[in-house]
Amino acid sequence: MTDTPTPNVMLFAAGFGTRMKALTKTCPKPMIPVAGRPLIDHTLDLAKALKPDRVVANLHYLPDVLTSHLTPQDVHLSPEMPEVLDTGGGLRHALPLLGPDPVFTANTDVIWKGTNPFALALQAWDPARMDALLVCIPSARCWGRKGAGDFSADTDGRLSRGGDLVYGGVQIVKTTGLADIPDPVFSLNLLWNQIATQDRLFAVEYHGHWCDVGHPEGIALAEELIAADVV
């Protein structure tokens, strides 16, 4: 484990949640109840367990609902108007709140069962070798995952595209490369591609279980995972 401080945290909460269909007509996806709590709170608890100086969430769709919920929890807000900026553009837009140092980013539509993924990433983070460290899960331990994996890792943990590893939605990333991307709206995939060309894109494997809650059937699966006796 490095002696670097806990990075600040960026929570992605701006999306429309279109895969959730009618469930997000009047409720932003991060506020959909899972096991009796808003979905975003499951990720927020994991992030806050590491006591970062600052947690930031981006907002776009139905922002007032999220503002009312997150402000009392000391989450700083990064509104995106008039258009949603995607993960890369949203992260760059939030940098005045996050600062120049490496940050955690986290998707808020997943459930983790096992080790805290933020703690796992922080323990494995080596900024001398890495510009991004992604927490990845073998597809066999992914609940509700649709489609193939995202990455393969070599024996050192260095990532390449295609394979059995699924990106779980938590990473530590250096943000300096965002300035080199001209588009205002873009995915973090563009930053990862840039980092990979320099052999500085890495993974740490998550040995617990993980559930995608980006679609309606994922809610029941996530609640089953939370209650399940699995590690």
CATH assignment of 9-227, among 3.90.550.10, 2.40.10.10, 3.40.630.30, 3.40.50.2000: 3.90.550.10
Domain residues of the chain, as ranges?
A: 9-227
Element (H, E) at 107: strand 103-107
User: What three-state secondary structure class fits 111?
Assistant: strand
Q: pLDDT tens, 202-216?
A: 999 999 999 999 999
Strands 165-173 and 103-107: antiparallel
Q: pLDDT tens, 43-53?
A: 999 999 999 99
Structure tokens at 131: 């510009």
In one-letter notation, the amino acid at residue 126 is: D
pTM of full prediction above 0.85: yes
- Count the neighbouring beta carbons within 10 Å of the beta carbon of residue 105: 25
Q: pLDDT tens, 161-188?
A: 999 999 999 999 999 999 999 999 999 9
Q: Tell me if 111 sits within 8 A of 34, measured CB to CB.
A: yes
